[in-house]
Structure 1
Amino acid sequence: MDNVLEAPPLEESLSGNAIKLRKRLLRNVGQAIADFNMIEDGDTVLVCCSGGKDSYTLLTLLMALRERAPVDFRIIAMNLDQKQPGFPAEVLPAYFESIGVEYRIVTEDTYSIVKEKVPEGKTTCALCSRLRRGIIYRTARELGATKIALGHHREDLLETLFLNMFFGGKIKAMPPKLQSDNGEHIVIRPLAYCAEADVARFARAMDYPIIPCNLCGTQENAQRKQIKALLADWERNFPGRIESLATALQNVVPSHLADGNLFNFKTLDRGAVNGDGDLVFDEEAATTIASPVTETIRWMSRGVEQ
C-alpha cells in the first residue's frame, strides 16, 4: 500500500485507555502493512484464528482497518479444529457470526498424529506446526486466498531470532512477509510492529473468548519459553531493549557481519570505499553504541559468573 492505513471510528464500549491502546495497535498494523505492501487491492486475506489473544486481535484490527483502507480486500477467518480433547468447537463459529465475518472451520485430527509420533514429554510444536501449515496452505488454495495472515507479534519475531542464533547457528527471524517454499502462497504478519504486552492488554479489554492450547501440555523447559523469559528479563531490567532489538532487524549491516554471501570480503581492497564505514575504532560512534548497552553487558556478565 502506498499510504499507512488510518484508524476507523472507535467503539464507544471501550475505556479511554483501551481506545488509546487500540489506536496504537491500529497505527502499528497500518504501518507494517504499508512498509511491506502486505495487502493489495482485490486481495482475499485468510486470517488464521486459533482462539488465542494474538489471532483475535489480528482479526479485529484487520476488520477495522478494512473500513478505511485505500484498497478493497476480502477477509475470511479460518480456524483449524485439531480434535484436541475438550476443544470447545462451538466458541469460534459463534464468535465469527457475532461479528459478521466470513469464516471457514476446518476439522483435521492432527492431535492423534502428534501424540502418536512425538514421545511423551517431548516438544510437540514442530510437528504440530508443520501439519497445521500444510492444512492452512490447502485451505487458502481452496478458497482462492491471495494472502495468509498470521498473528505473530514483535516478540515472536525476536524470540525466533534468538532461537536461531542460540540453537541453529543462523541470524534468522520471522519476516513480516514471506513466500512459501513452493512459491504459491504469501504469508503476512501484520502484528510485526505490535508489542506482545499491548496485544495482551487489548485482548483483556475486548474480553475475547480465549481458547487455551492444551496440546503441548506443560513444556516449561521448551526452548522458546526460555528465550521468552530471557527477553522479558532484559526488558524488566533495561526498558527499551526489546524496541532496540526490533529496530535492529531493519538495520542490518552486511559488511560488519561475516557472511561472504552477503558481502564480498575476498575482494575488499585498501582503495575500496565502504558506504557503511568502519565504526569499530570511531570514538564517537563507540560511545554512542556502548552507552545504552553497557549495563546490559555487565548484567549479562554477572549472570554468567553466577
Structure 2
Amino acid sequence: MQDKQEVTKKEQYNLNKLQKRLRRNVGEAIADYNMIVEGDRIMVCLSGGKDSYTMLEILRNLQQSAPINFSLVAVNLDQKQPGFPEHILPAYLESIGVEYKIVEENTYGIVKDKIPEGKTTCSLCSRLRRGILYRTATELGATKIALGHHRDDILQTMFLNMFYGGKMKGMPPKLMSDDGKHIVIRPLAYCREKDIERFAIAREYPIIPCNLCGSQPNLQRQVIGEMLRDWDKRYPGRIETMFSAMQNVVPSHMCDTTLFDFKGLKHGAEVVDGGDLAFDREELPMQPVGWQPEDEDSDSPVQRLDILEIK
C-alpha cells in the first residue's frame, strides 16, 4: 500500500513538473509574439487530439493568473466522418465548464467525392476546414483563432517546404489569415510533442483519431516526422538547435536577393553581419542551443505570462 502511494506521489510530482514546463513554454510564446491582448476572445480549435486538448487546458490555466482578461470558446468541426463519436467532445467540455460550439459540416463527403482513391486528402480538407473556422470565428466574435500546432509541427513544415517546395518557409506562431480578417495564433509553438504526448496520457483525455488522415501512412509529413524523431533519439538537442535557427535567420548569409541587396554591395560599404568572419570556425557549445535534459526540473520561479504585462 505504501509503495503504491509513493508511486502515486512520484507520478503526481512528475505531472506537475510537466505541466509547469508546458505552461512556461506557452507563456513565453504568448509574450514573445504578443499573441493575446486585453479583452481578446480566443476561439480554441479543438480537434479531439492530444495537442488541442493540451492547448485548451494550458490556456485555461493561464487565464486564471494572467495580468490581462481574455475569454475562451472551444470550437470543434464535426466533419461527418463515418463512426465519429459525436458525444465525446460535448460531454468533455460540459464536464469542465467551457463555452463551446460544435460546427457540423460534411467536409468528409466533399473530400471523398473530389479526391481519387489513394491520393492524399490533406490539402483540400485543410482548405475546407480553414474557411469554415474563419466563418465561425466571425459568427462568435472571436478576435484570435488558436491552433494546436507545436514546435515539431513547425519544424516539419520547414523541412517539407525545403525538401519538396524549394522554400525556406515554416509555420509562424502568429499570422494574418488569408482573408485579412483574422489573427491566427499557435500557443504551443515552443512545446515539444513528446511533452504534450506525456501530458495527454497522464490527463487521460478522450482522444478522437482522425480516420481520414490516419488512413494515409505515406504522407510526406509523416515521413519528415519520422526523420525528426530519429534525429531526436540519436542526436539529443538537434531539434532544439534547428528550432533556434528558425529564430536566428541571417539574410546577408543566405541567397535570397529579395531579402538582402547583394547587388548593392560595394567597396567601402559597411560590413554586414561580420562579413567573411562569419565563416571562421566558431567555438561551438558543449550542449546544443536550447537543449534540455529529459529530467529537467521545470519548477521555474518565473512564469512569464504571470509577470509580463502583455501589450
With the length of structure 2 as denominator, give the TM-score of the two structures: 0.87
Q: Give yes or no for the alignment of 1:238 onto 2:235.
A: yes
> Does the C-alpha gap of structure 1 residues 72 and 14 become closer, same or farther in structure 2, counting only changes over 3 Å?
farther
1:81-108 Cα deviation digits (max 9, x unpaired): 0000000000000000011110000000
Q: Which residue is 1:95 aligned to?
A: 92
Matches of 1:123 and 1:175, distance apart in 2: 24
**Any conservation in 1 of the 2:237–2:288 contact (CA below 8 Å)?**
no
Given candidates 76, 79, 84, the residue that maps to 1:82 is 79
**Any conservation in 1 of the 2:77–2:102 contact (CA below 8 Å)?**
yes
User: 1:233: Cα distance to partner?
Assistant: 1.1
Corresponding residue SS for 1:233: helix
Corresponding residue SS for 1:79: strand
Q: Which residue is 1:7 aligned to?
A: none
Which residue identity lines up with residue 67 of structure 1 in the other structure?
Q
Q: Give yes or no for the alignment of 1:167 onto 2:177.
A: no
Q: Give yes or no for the alignment of 1:147 onto 2:133.
A: no
Which residue identity lines up with residue 207 of structure 2 in the other structure?
I
Matches of 2:13 and 2:202, distance apart in 1: 11
For residues 89-128 of structure 1, the aligned pairs below 5 Å read: 89-128=86-125
Matches of 2:177 and 2:279, distance apart in 1: 42
Which residue identity lines up with residue 54 of structure 2 in the other structure?
T
For residues 1-306 of structure 1, the aligned pairs below 5 Å read: 15-279=12-276, 282-285=279-282, 288=284
User: 1:236: Cα distance to partner?
Assistant: 1.1
Matches of 1:30 and 1:292, distance apart in 2: 23
Matched positions, count: 281
User: 1:271: Cα distance to partner?
Assistant: 1.2
User: 1:275: Cα distance to partner?
Assistant: 3.6
> Does the C-alpha gap of structure 1 residues 291 and 65 become closer, same or farther in structure 2, counting only changes over 3 Å?
closer
C-alpha RMSD of matched pairs (Å): 2.0
> Does the C-alpha gap of structure 1 residues 279 and 227 become closer, same or farther in structure 2, counting only changes over 3 Å?
farther
Matches of 1:160 and 1:121, distance apart in 2: 22
Which residue identity lines up with residue 24 of structure 1 in the other structure?
R
Flag the structure with more relative contact order, 1 or 2, with Cα contacts below 8 A and sequence separation at least 6. 2
> Does the C-alpha gap of structure 1 residues 290 and 255 become closer, same or farther in structure 2, counting only changes over 3 Å?
farther
1:255-304 Cα deviation digits (max 9, x unpaired): 0011111100001012122341135675342x5399979xxxxxxxxxxx
Matches of 2:26 and 2:288, distance apart in 1: 28
Matches of 1:270 and 1:243, distance apart in 2: 38
Structure 2 unmatched runs, 5+: 1-8, 290-311
User: 1:14: Cα distance to partner?
Assistant: 6.9
Structure 1 unmatched runs, 5+: 1-11, 294-306
